[in-house]
Amino acid sequence: MSSRQRRDAALAEARARTGEVAPLPAEGWPQALIDRTRALWESLEGRYGFWDHRFEVFASPVTPGAAVLIIDEHPTGDAAAFDLSRASAVPASHACIAGDGPHERRMRDAFGRAGYEATFAASVKMHANCFRSRDLAQWRTTNVPERQWMEKHSLDVLRTALERVGPRLILCEGMDTLQRVLKLFPGTGPTIVAVAGGSRRAYCRSRLANGATLTGIIAPGSSRTSDEDWDAALPELGRDLDALR
């Protein structure tokens, strides 16, 4: 069997093992999404070089009816920092509140300066891609069939969460994240409403058919995002938060 045939067989196996055999429950659906993600990850053992980095679906408690749902591109970090038992359950705390890195501090500051600390604390946070790697460069080394299936699964998870939570504001951390999420809304074109240094997009906004607002903010954790770049986006975020009142 050729290497391509082996990869295709692995992909077929993953699909068979993680296919939806029953609809998600009305209660406990976040845990069901985590369980399905773990099943797909387990089925791919040895199929890509950083399998031991595992997965993460949610980065906060999940509250249906939360006004804001925050999405980052995908979870990164060393394999040694991963806790399988923690990732296999819905988080008890919000990563952006418990964490103290530049990314988390900027997000807290953004909502705090606008006067929406409570909204931030009640927000849901998750990933556009559920599967971890050291960084994005490593993620792109995944064999194409497996990567495509993992990314498709991740978008299906995200679609379900958006439907079940029903946020009025969807905030994507980084424009690459926004491009991933836009795959769920064909024909939607974001408008650039704030610009950072070097003519980079600082904040984009789209109105969705269901009345929700889909936005993208310049990546808070990127070393390329200066304080001036970040500050350029905050007035527009504040306007979207005010609209939730």
pLDDT digits (tens, 9 = 90+) for 158-187: 999 999 999 999 999 999 999 999 999 999
Q: Give 66 or 48, the one with higher predicted confidence.
A: 66
Q: What tokens were used for 236? A: 């527009």
Amino acid 10: pLDDT: 54
User: Does the pLDDT of residue 45 top 50, yes or no?
Assistant: yes
| DSSP line for the chain | --HHHHHHHHHHHHHHHH---SPPPSSSHHHHHHHHHHHHHHHTTTSSTTGGG-B--BSS---TT-SEEEEES--B--GGG--HHHHTS--SS-HHHH--SHHHHHHHHHHHHTT-HHHHHT-EEEESS-B-BSSHHHHTTS-HHHHHHHHHHHHHHHHHHHHHH--SEEEEESHHHHHHHHTTSTT--PEEEEE-GGG-EEEEEEE-TTS-EEEEE--TT-TT--HHHHHHHHHHHHHHHHTT-
**CATH annotation of 3-18+25-242:** 3.40.470.10
CB 184 within 8 A of CB 209: no
Q: What residue ranges do the domains of the chain occupy?
A: 3-18+25-242
The residue-averaged pLDDT of 27-56 equals: 92
Q: Is the pLDDT of residue 20 over 50?
A: no
What confidence category does residue 6 fall into, taking pLDDT thresholds of 50, 70 and 90?
low
